[in-house]
Structure 1
Amino acid sequence: MYMSTKRVNFRLPEELVAHADIAAEVTHKNRTEILIEALRQYLEEKESDESFREAVVELYLDDHIEFEKLVEIIGRQDAEAVRASKEVLDRGEELADKLADL
């Protein structure tokens, strides 16, 4: 699967770079590939953690992330359920506001 890429610049501890370079040499990959694999593995591990997933849902419910980002992290089926719940909650808040104005 080909993904679009974005150039990012960041600093790493020299020791970490040295380890990545050794891994790259042993596996016949380049440093970027090693770092991408490491980050992907870390994110997959994080995204399987229930408390992390709950925090992501909270970000969506608070309108800090878009629906498609939610889908990418928790999956389409769970995201659809969260979106439906959010719509019900939002309608409830609107109704409460209208009733308060009476």
Structure 2
Amino acid sequence: MKKNTYKQVCTVMAPYKKKGIPYRRKQIQRLLTILEDIFEHEPNLHDELERIGRKQIIGYWRRTEGESPTTRQEKYKVLCLFFEAANLRGHVPYPK
């Protein structure tokens, strides 16, 4: 992920990340890992957050099918928060 994209994500999620709440810090780290994976496996995105959509997220869910349902639920929640905070179009598909 490019430095500019990283800064955009941190700026968008700044109100969510509060000092002294380790769970939220963990969720931000999860979000950055998810986005890193999506940008790595989808070369046509060119590190543009606006281009992330349903297809890319479904691809991510398929690549991480081995994770526990609890982990996938927490990742789903942070992705929903990010999409809402960044005003990205579309919605996050629920992991199956």
Q: TM-score w.r.t. structure 1 length?
A: 0.26
Q: Which has the higher contact order (CA 8 A, sep 6+)?
A: 2
Q: TM-score w.r.t. structure 2 length?
A: 0.27
